Amino acid sequence: MKKSLIIFACILAAIFMTGCSSTKKTNVKTYVMPCSDCVKADDAIRVWASGTSDSETTARKKAMMSASADLAALLEKNVERITEEYTSVLNNGENGLSKSYLNEQSKITVKKTISGANIVCDEWVNKENGQYTNYIVLELKLNTFIDSFIEEVKKDSEQQLNKELLQELFEKNVKNNME
Domains and CATH numbers, the chain: 34-178 (3.10.129)
What does the pLDDT look like over 93-106, one tens digit per residue? 444 566 677 777 77
Q: How far is CA 159 from the centre of its chain?
A: 33
The more confident residue out of 120 and 91 is 120
Three-state DSSP state, 118: strand
| Residue from 142, 130, 123, 126 nearest 48 by CA | 123
Looking at every residue in the chain, the average pLDDT score rounds to 78
Q: What is the DSSP string of 10-76?
A: HHHHHHHHHHHHT----PPPP-PPTTGGG---SSEEEEEEEEEESSHHHHHHHHHHHHHHHHHHHHH
55 CB contacts (<8 Å, ≥6 apart)? 132
pLDDT score at 177: 59
CB atoms within 10 A of CB 69: 13
| Residue from 76, 75, 78, 100 nearest 87 by CA | 100
Q: What's 130's DSSP letter?
A: S
pTM (two decimals): 0.68
Return the CA Rg of the chain. Answer: 28
- Compute the residue count for the chain: 179
